Structure 1
Amino acid sequence: MSQTDNRCRLVLVVPDIADIGERTKALGDALRGGDVASVIVPQYGLDDQTFQKHAEALVPLIQNAGAAALLAGDTRVAGRAKADGIHIQGNAAALTEAMEKFSPKLIVGGGNAADRHHALEVGEARPDYVFFGKVDGDIKPEAHPKNLALAEWWASMIEIPCIVMGGTDPESVLSVAETGAEFVALRLGVFGDAAQAASVVANVNALLDEKAPRFED
């Protein structure tokens, strides 16, 4: 078992950059920084055709770095771009439908679980993971306290892994790790200054190696 397998791991959320070359470079730099479990690629405001082009450039880059490529947007694009999975941003019904259609061929996870009741509804679909927060919800330096509380409750009683959206401060990963969550997502915390992306990913991994609690076997 490697050191990263028994502690909270990093998930990257690709930032909203319209230029495909800039976006690819920023992500490539970040992935060179160290361990990344998966990368979520949101559609943001792109039309389906442009999203497809972005996905075709980003998916191989993500996979070559040993991470899972998860697309959040038009699910048809995931199949065409040979992504590893889809991130559903809708409610429990949308997630259930996606599970029936795409699992187990693709990883299927998602969120919109704003409280315990909705989290349990999402859990009933038996997704591969539950996401607490929004993929663009990193508007403060720290992770949202509500998401931390949900993750702590979830991790203590439910086996489905969870990803928690961190804040704009990369050190927010520690408060997420302390909840028992398996994964912490960063977007602006890594890509806020794209030139620093690789060193931020390296620093985050070092911080998690040093201070994140270890999971029981």
Structure 2
Amino acid sequence: MSNVESRCRLVLILPEGEDLAARAAMLEGALKGGDVASVILPQYGLDDGQFQKHAEALVALVQKAGAAALVAGDTRVAGRAKADGIHVTGGLEALGEAVEKFTPKLIVGGGNATDRHKALEIGEVQPDYIFFGKIGGDIKPEAHPKNLALAEWWASMVEIPCIVLGGTDPQSALAVAETGAEFVALDKAVFADPAQAPHVVAAVNALLDEKAPRFEE
């Protein structure tokens, strides 16, 4: 096993769904494929009660696999589900409030950084990470060029780690790694065919082991 800490690592975004058993099986499969740093569990269209039920089951699965579970949506759900962190999908104000309220007890990060100015504003509230991209925004095979450009600029000058949304092609993870980003987030690339998820996770890890640049110690 290579030292995954010294290169870009994989973050998974679980796709939406009502069927908890199917989502759990899909996620469990993916986590068996290899190194995953964290899993973002968005609320999507679930009401708070359903989301609570899903979050509790899924957070436990993620943690059992040794990854960090980040709940996106209701912060109370994150607390009750004993998640490791909160992924803030709202704007700067919501992120600032979450950082103030929950760090260092929980990992707190978020995005909506559509340009350099917004990214720097987000950096000022000192989240644990910044997210370039938008959940559900992986509609093309490759990562969005704007997010890659932002990540490259950010990684070269700011200490706060960044997670960059890849595309629907698992190979897009390498372009993200080449920006110097610490994490690449994949959704459809891994989960489009749930049966393939473990193989995709294994393949992405192999690709990053072989070709991703290493961080300086």
Normalising by the smaller structure, the TM-score range is over 0.9
Equivalence for 1:157? 157
Equivalence for 2:85? 85
Equivalence for 1:23? 23
Aligned-partner residue type, residue 84 of structure 1: D
Equivalence for 2:13? 13
Tell me how far apart the structure 2 counterparts of residues 102 and 49 of structure 1 sit (CA, whole Å): 22
Is 2:88–2:109's contact at 8 Å kept on the other side of the alignment? yes
Equivalence for 1:57? 57
Tell me how far apart the structure 2 counterparts of residues 101 and 83 of structure 1 sit (CA, whole Å): 15
Tell me the number of residue pairs that the alignment of Structure 1 and Structure 2 aligns.
217
Aligned-partner residue type, residue 13 of structure 1: I
Is 2:2–2:209's contact at 8 Å kept on the other side of the alignment? no
SS at match of 2:163: strand
Tell me how far apart the structure 2 counterparts of residues 82 and 164 of structure 1 sit (CA, whole Å): 25
Tell me how far apart the structure 2 counterparts of residues 18 and 187 of structure 1 sit (CA, whole Å): 17
| Structure 2 unaligned blocks of 5 or more | none
SS at match of 1:5: helix
Q: Deviations over 1:27-58 (max 9, x none)?
A: 00000000000000000010000000000110
> Hey, which bits of structure 1, 4+ residues long, moved more than 4 A?
none
Q: Deviations over 1:88-126 (max 9, x none)?
A: 011111111001111111000000000000000100010
1:1-217 to structure 2, matched below 5 A, reads: 3-217=3-217
Tell me how far apart the structure 1 counterparts of residues 179 and 92 of structure 2 sit (CA, whole Å): 23
Is 2:132–2:163's contact at 8 Å kept on the other side of the alignment? yes
Question: Per-residue deviation at 1:199?
Answer: 0.4
RMSD value, Cα:
0.9
Is 2:12–2:38's contact at 8 Å kept on the other side of the alignment? yes
Tell me how far apart the structure 1 counterparts of residues 177 and 127 of structure 2 sit (CA, whole Å): 21
Aligned-partner residue type, residue 42 of structure 1: P
Tell me how far apart the structure 2 counterparts of residues 105 and 186 of structure 1 sit (CA, whole Å): 26
SS at match of 1:30: helix
Question: Per-residue deviation at 1:2?
Answer: 5.1
Question: Per-residue deviation at 1:211?
Answer: 0.3
Is 2:10–2:185's contact at 8 Å kept on the other side of the alignment? yes
TM value normalised by structure 2: 0.99
Q: Deviations over 1:125-176 (max 9, x none)?
A: 1000000001211011000000000000000000000000000000000000
| Structure 1 unaligned blocks of 5 or more | none
Aligned-partner residue type, residue 31 of structure 2: L
